[in-house]
Chains A and B, each alone.
Chain A
Amino acid sequence: MSWLRRSARLKKEWRHDPEALMLKRHFRELSVAAALGILLLFLAVAAPAFYQAQPLLSLLTREAPTLVVACGMALVIISRQIDISVGSQFAVCSVCAGLLAALKWPPFLVLPASIAIGALMGAINGTLVAGLRLPSIVVTLATMVTWREGLRWLRQGEFVNLPDGVQWLGLSQANGQRALIITALVVLVLMALAMKHLSAGRFVHAVGSDAEAARLAGIRPQLVTFSTFVLIGAFTGFAAMMNIAQSPQVDPKSGTGLELKTIAAVVVGGVAISGGRGTLWGVFAGLLLLACISPALTHLHIEAYWEKAIQGAIILLAVVADGLRTRSEKR
């Protein structure tokens, strides 16, 4: 798309700027973090009830699976692709994992199975995108519809009841919640470090910045693209497992809207949709910001009618701020 090409020039200026200060380089991440900080401060004054250990822990646990998927989404977007089928993949993995668990498979076998199913669906996307060079937005649009409708057709929306012992993976509730949050954070930190320090992570950035240059530098862009799709699929399978561990039933509609939520978090967190730029720390801040809005509105006693409009306005505000900044920088 034309806007993909347009920003390539900008990125090069960034990289070669010798005075790339910490502040400047991470301006976007820091501004999102600042926005989050302001929101949290405001809540501390206006609605101190927001800060209670147990509800906050529950809230974070609910967002933990989303964070894992968002990490995968960040990778896909940095490599200049997009995946809008994650919500449907999430539902398929959840139901499959739930059915396996209901067949009395132990959790340590269900988890790899769920990851494998996710990775397989990711591989299908990856093959179509990298192998056949089809546009990812259309491929994943098609797989999104196909998985979702197929699942509805086969399962007719029936809940899957899980046996005892699956919830919290046999731990106590508090420990289970902590374990899930820590798992998600570990995934985030490992991925962030890998993106910076492993050559594979740099390949993703390189392919997203300029696939042709990456190819000339000896990277195989198609392989990198394929891998990112497999990875996001595997992450989605993992996240699905993290989600079904939180309740004794699986809703086959779970994951609806997950694609929009994660894409919004990634973009608000400063990852350029045109590829090549962005960090997972920004994604983390973006996700927390978006995840806090809905509870914040509830705590501030604002009517639910306004929620969607406010969310849209915040996404727009984030990108407009970014646009204004790049505009003024160019002058």
Chain B
Amino acid sequence: MSTPHHKATGWKALLFRHETVLLLVLVMEWLYFNSVGRHFGSLDNTFDIVRHTVEIGLLALVMTPIILTGGIDLSVGSLLGLCAILFGKLWRDAGMSLMVAGLCTLGFGALAGGLNATLITWLRLPPLIVTLGTYSLFRGLAEAITHGADTFTNFPASFLFLGQERWLGIPAQAPVFIVVAIAVWLLVHRTTFGRSFRAIGFTPEGARYAGIPVERRISLVYVLAGIVAALAAIIYTARLGQAKADAGTGYELFAITAVVLGGTSIFGGIGSVHGTLLGVAAIAVLSNGLVHARQPREVAGMLTGGLLLLALSSSVLPKLLSGLRARKSAANVAPIAHQTTP
């Protein structure tokens, strides 16, 4: 029960609860799939889940601060595709070494994120619309450069190691993910940046009056998203051993779903990185486990949608019910007054 006397702790309790519920869901998913699928709980399968989820997980991680500021980025999936083919192009056609090509790709990701950031902050345009435009633009550029057909393959084994092999017993891309996860967690939860993201999400005007450089902070999160999308593109390329213009199609929706499932409010201001990680894990385990439960792929999509609605309702319902109760006890005349036309 959230007590009205301690608003801060009540709010924190709510946050805590949401993540607890999600964790329970995750544990139940795990137990259920473990009981129906003989090999679901094996270490190999667990690592498979990790390998399959790293790219979407990376995108979800950087989507969290964006949504915290009240923004959204629909272009990350397309940017992943564009970066993947750019990386392939630089390596194969421009003759760069993989290292240099990778660094250039990261730089390009930052630039592309910067384009989003400029349009959003300088022109004060809604992020939804800006990134809807760049969503088409980035994918379109990727298709235009490769004519849709050109595929980059035959990467050296040393590079494919990053996506396909194990390093110290764990999937080689896992350490990258862990480092990014820790960095984003620290940024959001342990620095003044993180607090400013929330402040901007609650009220950008208020944040400005409080002396927060709103434009610079917002730019930061979109540029960060661009860099990490480029990183995800490199890992994607290493995992599949190929780069093509359709890489990462639809990943933005997965990432947003994971973030929202993790308890971050789409209106900004509220949310956590560990919630996002749980959200990513819940979706990944569901999608993997259903194969072990021998359910068709469509069911995974439907259950993800259902889970999303369930998570949302569970965070909103108490507020709504207590609101209703308060209204009932406050005045019975109010609803009638509302019905009068102006």
Contacts and interface: CB of A to CB of B under 8 A. Distances in A.
A30 interface: no
Instruction: Please tell me the size bucket of the interface on A.
Output: 35 or more
A264 interface: yes
A219 B339 CA distance: 7
A219 B337 CA distance: 10
Interface stretch (B94-102, B176-184, B299-307): B299-307
Interface residues of B, number: 63
A149 B133 contact: no
Contact of A312 (B119, B140, B320): B140
B296 interface: yes
Interface stretch (A35-43, A92-100, A172-180, A313-321): A313-321
A23 interface: no
Interface in B137-151: 137-141, 143-144, 147-148
Nearest to A136: B266
Interface stretch (A51-59, A108-116, A279-287, A302-310): A302-310
Contacts of B296: 153
B123 A3 contact: no
B8 interface: no
Given A134-B313, A273-B128, A152 B298 contact: yes
Nearest to B310: A142
Contact of A327 (B124, B127, B203): B124
B57 interface: no
A220 B338 contact: yes
A96 B308 CA distance: 26
Interface in A231-256: none
Contacts of B147: 303, 305
Interface in A191-249: 199, 215, 217-220
Given A5-B203, A323-B125, A312 B305 contact: no
A267 B321 CA distance: 35
Nearest to A203: B342
Contacts of B299: 149, 153
Interface of A: 1-6, 82, 128, 132-135, 137-139, 141-146, 148-150, 152-153, 199, 215, 217-220, 260, 263-264, 267, 273-274, 303, 305-313, 315-316, 319-320, 322-324, 326-327
B201 interface: yes
A274 B126 contact: yes
Nearest to A2: B70
A82 to B, nearest CB: 8
Q: Interface majority SS on B: helix, strand, loop or mixed?
A: helix
Interface in B143-178: 143-144, 147-148
Contacts of A315: 129, 132-133, 136
Given A146-B305, A305-B143, A306-B144, A320 B123 contact: yes
B126 A273 contact: yes
A273 B308 CA distance: 24
A319 to B, nearest CB: 5
B301 A149 contact: yes
Interface stretch (B44-52, B85-93, B226-234, B253-261): B253-261
Contact of A145 (B139, B143, B302, B342): B302
Interface string B272-298: 000000000000000000000000101
B316 interface: yes
A142 B305 contact: yes
Contact of B136 (A5, A217, A312): A312
Given A3-B204, A141-B308, 18 more contacts: A1-B72, A1-B267, A1-B268, A3-B125, A3-B127, A132-B320, A133-B319, A134-B312, A134-B313, A138-B260, A142-B308, A273-B129, A312-B136, A312-B139, A315-B129, A319-B126, A319-B130, A320-B123
